[in-house]
Amino acid sequence: MNKTIHQWIISKDSLLNAILDKDKKKIIRDERIKSIINELMNWPGTVLNSHKSAKQSFHKLEFLADIGLTYKDIPEIISKIKGNVSEEGPFVLPMNISENYGGTGTDTLAWAICDAPSITYSMAIMGLKNDNAVIKSLRYLAALIDNNGYRCKVSKELNPFRGPGRKDDPCPYATLIMLRLLNLYGDEFKKEIEICSECLLRLWVMSREEHPYMFYMGTDFRKLKAPLFWYDILNVVYILSGNKKTCKDKRFISMLNEIYSKSYPDGKYKAESIYMSWKGWDFSEKKEPSAWITYYVEKIKERIEM
């Protein structure tokens, strides 16, 4: 990371300073992190009403995992997560799909391929990569691959629910978060990783023509946004950069250059879209450069250069 940018980032946010120093004690002492941990003590939380919502418990778990917390730091939460597992293997959350959308209209513990991979990923990078429950979830989810990516799949409790798309289309978001999970295990899932990467790169090239499951790569997609939860350019490039082969692909480079084009002359970046539920963080306002957005771009650069 550029020394000047590094100094600016750590001066802007004490939590980023602790993250870059890998100072676990300071990370956990941060009041914002304490608040998230306290909230997740109620796992699995309230009924899931929107996977996109940045308030969701599984998104906040992702955030804790990505900044360096491990299962040892939040043992009670991990215990509750492992206590909510489906027969198939994936971890479950409370959901309610109305009858109008093919559900039962009642609260039930279930999983969907647009949430289960994120929980499995979080558990894996929190130090449970080889845990039996994590491996069972991983293998079940990985086996759901189709020839064009991961399609909309849900647990038996939610059948026959399916998202708003053609049944043979890949779900871009499910494919994205499955790729993030599979990247942790590398060559063991080489074929699946290639299919996921190709799906996302192809959708970038075909962004004007193809919008499976109503996921667009248009104006909103191209706005820089944090944390990295949803289907937007920063998150897609961040996850794709986890594979060295992909980093050399001209389609990936095109996406990367789209991000670079948003840089200030001094190498800083600002948020162009925000999650209102994360008010108070520097990425929740658009007027000034964001240390967090800049941090994520720098992390992508580091991955490419490795």
pLDDT tens digit sequence for 19-38: 999 999 999 999 999 999 99
Say how many C-beta atoms besides its own lie within 10 A of residue 277's C-beta.
Answer: 12
How many helices (H) and strands (E) the chain has is answered by 14, 2
84-105: buried (b, 16+ CB within 10 Å) or exposed (e) per residue?
ebbeebbbbbebebeeeeebbe
Q: Which residues contact 51 (CB under 8 A, 6 or more apart)?
A: 112, 114, 115, 173
3-state helix, strand, coil in the chain (%, to 5): 50, 5, 45
Whole-model pTM: value is 0.95
User: DSSP alpha helices (H): ranges in the chain?
Assistant: 3-12, 14-21, 24-29, 31-40, 57-66, 75-82, 116-123, 132-142, 172-183, 190-205, 233-240, 244-247, 250-260, 291-305
Q: What six digits make up the tokens of 118?
A: 């994120």
Whether residue 162 is predicted with pLDDT greater than 90 in this model: the reply is no
pLDDT of residue 99: 64
pLDDT tens digit sequence for 50-73: 777 888 999 999 999 999 999 999
pLDDT of residue 37: 98
Q: Where does residue 44 rank: exposed (0-12), middle (13-18), buried (19+ CB within 10 A)? A: buried
Question: Per-domain residue ranges for the chain?
Answer: 3-305
In angstroms, what CA-CA distances link 99 with 104, 160, 192? 5, 10, 33
Q: Which fold has domain 3-305?
A: Glycosyltransferase (1.50.10)
Q: What is the CA radius of gyration of the chain?
A: 19
d(CA 71, CA 208): 42
Tokens 């706005």 found at: 223
d(CA 51, CA 40): 16
Average pLDDT of the chain is: 93
Under 8 Å between Cβ of 129 and 81: no
pLDDT of residue 189: 97
Question: Which residues on neighbouring strands pair with residue 108, listed in sequence order?
Answer: 95
pLDDT tens digit sequence for 81-94: 999 999 999 999 99
Q: What six digits make up the tokens of 216?
A: 């667009």
Show the CA angle centred on residue 19, arms to residues 256 and 84, nearest 5°: 90
Q: How many residues does the chain have?
A: 306
φ/ψ region of 97 (left if φ > 0, alpha if ψ in -120 to 50, else beta) reads beta
Whether residue 245 is predicted with pLDDT greater than 70 in this model: the reply is yes
| 98 pLDDT tier (thresholds 50, 70, 90) | low
pLDDT of residue 52: 78
| 161 pLDDT tier (thresholds 50, 70, 90) | low
| 172 pLDDT tier (thresholds 50, 70, 90) | very high
pLDDT of residue 48: 67
pLDDT of residue 165: 73
Minimal CA–CA distance to 123: which of 80, 78, 57, 87?
78
Whether residue 176 is predicted with pLDDT greater than 80 in this model: the reply is yes
